[in-house]
Amino acid sequence: MRALIQRVSHAKVEVAGELIGQCGAGLLILVCAMQGDTEAEADKLAAKIAKLRIFKDDAGKMNRSLIDTGGGALVVSQFTLAGDTSRGNRPGFSTAAPPADGERLYLHFAEALRAEGIVVETGEFGADMAVSLVNDGPVTLWLDTAG
């Protein structure tokens, strides 16, 4: 699985102008299931993100995790993270998981984060979503369970 995480002061996702998910201080997590991914990859990614020390401690160092801060997470499916731009100018998405697998693993990932004690809200799988955020730092990281 792949994820692009952004430390945010707040983030929200809307579908057709309706707010469907949001979080305050915490993480916006854009996530993509890849072909061959299983629940094990989703669990591994969720555990890593929940414990990733990218929030400032009292000395101003990135030394605290989402668990430590009690921050929330907004999880949004984003199959375009599978985009391959190595040939030509149009990205290919053939390495993304098929939609049914992608949705199942996306929902499993969100549940795995909740199991880590994180308050999680989500977008809507497959929908045309408008995501808004204020990136704090900015801090943005790419994670991939394959590498």
Instruction: For strands 26-32 and 18-23, give the pairing.
Output: unpaired
Is residue 35 part of the annotated active site? The answer reads: no
- What distance in Å separates the CA atoms of residue 84 and residue 99, rounded to the nearest whole number? 17
Is residue 80 part of the annotated active site? The answer reads: yes
Q: How is 36-71 classified by DSSP, letter by letter? A: T--HHHHHHHHHHHHH---EE-TTSSEEE-HHHHT-
Is residue 78 part of the annotated active site? The answer reads: yes
Catalytic residue among 6, 55, 78, 109: 78
Catalytic residue among 22, 35, 38, 79: 79
Q: In terms of C-beta density within 10 A (0-12 exposed, 13-18 middle, 19 or more buried), how is residue 83 classed?
A: middle
Catalytic residue among 35, 80, 93, 140: 80
Please give the positions annotated as active site.
Answer: 78-80
